[in-house]
Amino acid sequence: MSLLSIKDLSISFDTPRGMLEAVRHADLEVPAGTSVGIVGESGSGKTVMSRAAMGLLQGSNVHRSGTVVFDGHDLTAMTRVGVREYFGTGMAMIFQDPMTALNPVRRIGSQISEGLRVRLGMDKRKAMARSEELLTLVHIPDPGTTLHKFPYQLSGGMRQRVMIAIAIACEPKLLFADEPTTALDVTVQAQILQLLGDLRRDLGMSMVLVTHDLGVVAGNTDIVAVMYAGEIVEQAPTKSLFANMRMPYTEALLKSIPKMDMPSGKRLQVIEGRLPDPTDRPVGCGFAARCMYVQPKCHAEHPPLIHDGDGHLYRCWFPLGKK
């Protein structure tokens, strides 16, 4: 039974330049107790999808279709007030930029305890005490003093930990992490990823990890979904995906990243061209214009998502590895 089940989700925005299709017919299952990674570049739709899944997308210019079922409840059929019941205790999110995700004029303690008081009905003293415990849980040194500090007094890594503390305060079942380490230094990134892994284990939390970094998903996820131009183009258990890539985009992405064990001085393999215009999606496969293995059929017909036997999904007419 999936904790989160996204079916046929499509999201478009009304913009002066036309209808912007951010997400197109996306399906995603997050089984309980797993960590699912969503990998894509900017413009792939991954952030829009995670925000929409949590019910955070608002605005009169947003068009949404499809369903999002969390823990058996259909969120898309609810009002905004109804969905909010699940924030904090059901689902929580941590964001990319710790600088702007925290309120600069409120102290740390007050920001963490807000959720505890509103969602769990704790009184002020108990909430503060619990906030201090949470800061210890996320390895912030000297939690007592930190409660009274303002965000600007903390470093980026510390702020990210505070954001994690806020997110797990009400012990949600599912944590969305939207590029949680992109803005951080690499050593701090390693600490935060390790922290998230430990918390997941200790709290029995599931996670959706949105990132552009294939290295991050390799070590921190059980299942990976790759998005390109608003669609899920490949999905598989992490080990299978890396061992047995089907989608040329995934392979090209992997090849174009400079790696630590590459010999120095070698030229990188490049993905030519640019992302397609989200207001003018091509008829065929979204990656056709840049694909090394492109055939005429790719431009003409839009490939559906094909299910392989062992949990591997891909969206390609001529997948790699298949004879």
* Contact set with other proteins (CB under 8 A): 41-42, 155-158, 185-191, 193-194, 212-220, 238-239, 242-243, 252-254, 256-272, 274
Q: Which two tokens stand for residue 54?
A: 């949590």
The least CB distance from residue 277 to other proteins, in Å, is 11
Closer to other proteins by Cβ: residue 94 or 214: 214
Closer to other proteins by Cβ: residue 158 or 175: 158
The least CB distance from residue 240 to other proteins, in Å, is 9
The least CB distance from residue 125 to other proteins, in Å, is 30
The least CB distance from residue 64 to other proteins, in Å, is 24
Closer to other proteins by Cβ: residue 206 or 250: 250
The least CB distance from residue 42 to other proteins, in Å, is 6
Closer to other proteins by Cβ: residue 83 or 253: 253
User: What's the chain look like in SS3?
Assistant: CEEEEEEEEEEEEEECCEEEEEEEEEEEEEECCCEEEEECCCCCCHHHHHHHHHCCCCCCCEEEEEEEEECCEEHHHCCHHHHHCCECCCEEEECCCHHHHCCCCCCHHHHHHHHHHHHHCCCHHHHHHHHHHHHHHCCCCCHHHHCCCCHHHCCHHHHHHHHHHHHHCCCCCEEEEECCCCCCCHHHHHHHHHHHHHHHHHHCCEEEEEECCHHHHHHHCCEEEEEECCEEEEEEEHHHHHHCCCCHHHHHHHHHCCCCCCCCCCCCCCCCCCCCCCCCCCCCCCCHHHCCCCCHHHHHCCCCCEECCCCCEECCCCCCCCC
The least CB distance from residue 241 to other proteins, in Å, is 8
Closer to other proteins by Cβ: residue 57 or 188: 188
Closer to other proteins by Cβ: residue 150 or 242: 242
Q: What do you get for the CA distance between the two ends of the chain, in Å?
A: 33
Contact 253, 217 (CB under 8 A): no
The least CB distance from residue 191 to other proteins, in Å, is 6
Closer to other proteins by Cβ: residue 65 or 256: 256
